[in-house]
Amino acid sequence: MKCFGLIGNPLEHSFSPLIHKHLFGIKNIDASYKLLETTPENLKKRIDELKSGEYDGFNVTIPYKIEIMKYLDEISPEALAIGSVNTICMKNGKVVGYNTDYFGFKRELEYYNIKVEKQNAYVLGTGGASKAITKALENMNANVTLVSRHPKNNIIGYEDLKSKKIDLIVNTTPVGMYPHMDDSPLDEEIASKAKCIVDIIFNPSKTKLMSYNKNSYNGLLMLIFQAAEAEDIWLDKVYDIDYNKIIEDVRGDIGE
């Protein structure tokens, strides 16, 4: 049996084991997927577990998508260009990092037919997920601006959004994630004037931020699409998957 896992902290909100269970099942792959809450001091230990064959591959989530890079032997060109890694495995005796968040987010936009070309997109947060999403939006010809609690250079502050024309807001921060479901990175005045909101949080299925805008989407599809991309990398094979069935099954299991 192959064994995979998710490195991050905290992980109590994660649906990744459920998603990979469905993906492994549809492919007839005998594999397990574990949640591996990890302290910064134990990151290198996780890499050693991969090298020893204890695990066959990892996903990486908050807060280690940038930190993990210093422990890798190689980084794929797209992950290097993005500046963050969320998928790692052994290739030719080396620990290699990839970024599947980019593909997951792009495919979610395409699935929901969210047009971003020449639109004013504001990305909340500047962490690892933000880097992948910003790159995807830029490559889709959106006008992208980063928003942070610590504005500097070309990064604006949250209050600055009050004076902006907003086509799309993408929340890449953990604000509003389970169990802190009453929190929102923006107030209703700003959120309601956006044409569309994508909150990459997937638990809860409707965040406080999403409740402020009728045209809003969570991050579940991004999670599903990036998970499938990660498995293609781990298993070194591209699978033809009925994504509509996977999406329907996962939504059914989580009651969305």
DSSP string computed for 129-143:
HHHHHHHHHHHTT-E
User: Per the residue annotation, which of 27, 34, 45, 65 is the catalytic one?
Assistant: 65
195 has catalytic annotation: no
DSSP string computed for the chain:
-EEEEEEES--TT--HHHHHHHHHHHHT--EEEEEEE--GGGHHHHHHHHHTTS-SEEEE-TT-TTGGGGG-SEE-HHHHHHT---EEEEETTEEEEE--HHHHHHHHHHHTT---TT-EEEEE--SHHHHHHHHHHHHTT-EEEEE-SS-BTTBBPGGGGGGS--SEEEE-S-TT-TT-TT--SS-HHHHTTSSEEEE---SSSS-HHHHT-SSEE-SHHHHHHHHHHHHHHHHT------HHHHHHHHHHHHT-
Catalytic positions, written as ranges? 65
